[in-house]
Amino acid sequence: MSALKIKKGSTKHSAYNLRPTFSDTTETHTLAVIVDNEPGVLARVIGLFSGRGYNIDSLTVAEVDHTGHTSRITIVTTGTPQVIEQIKAQLGRIVVVHEVHDLTVEGRSVERELALLKVTGVGDKRVEALRLADIFRANVVDSTLGSFVFEITGTPDKIDAFAELMRPLGLSEIARTGVAALLRGAS
């Protein structure tokens, strides 16, 4: 009797590899979805996420073609590779969706976000807040005797870092626009 040729990962007790082949690592993906600019379209797209228990980390929507009446929805979401593929497939099945692009997979992209941060404080904290704002290239868009409102544009990581440095200096409010992203190059 000849020896059995058993694939790696299986045992001699079974002819099947019972180990799941699914990845359990979560990844963050940026999706660009081109849709009809009609009432209720955003609700249908977002309903897909909420109905299946998927999370949205960031969401931006704007009309991109006035004559064609199309809008671009940029969604940042997190999930396993299988979940991301399922999201893209289900988005593509919605009638009002024209295109679904995974900017994370399709190539290098440019991602930016705008944030407004209100920092309250006096004395040395005000001076330190202005010094840090200069380093991060944040602009002062409003100033009173007790507070500043800073405007900062950059990657989400840059905005997170700036906000963390402003917390001990009196960060009292923050408003973020969400990620806007485009593929780099001629494509």
The mean predicted confidence, pLDDT, of the chain is 88
Every domain range in the chain assigned CATH 3.30.70.260? 27-106
Q: pTM for the whole thing?
A: 0.77
SS3 readout for the chain: CCCCCCCCCCCCCCCCCCCCCCCCCCEEEEEEEEEECCCCHHHHHHHHHHHHCCCEEEEEEEEEECCCCEEEEEEEEEECHHHHHHHHHHHHCCCCEEEEEEHHHHCCEEEEEEEEEEEECCCHHHHHHHHHHHHCCCEEEEECCCEEEEEEEECHHHHHHHHHHHHHHCEEEEEECCCEEEECCCC
CATH number attached to the domain at 27-106: 3.30.70.260
Q: Tell me the fold of 110-183.
A: Alpha-Beta Plaits (3.30.70)
* pLDDT tens, residue by residue, 53-112: 888 999 999 999 999 899 999 999 998 889 999 999 999 999 899 999 999 999 889 999
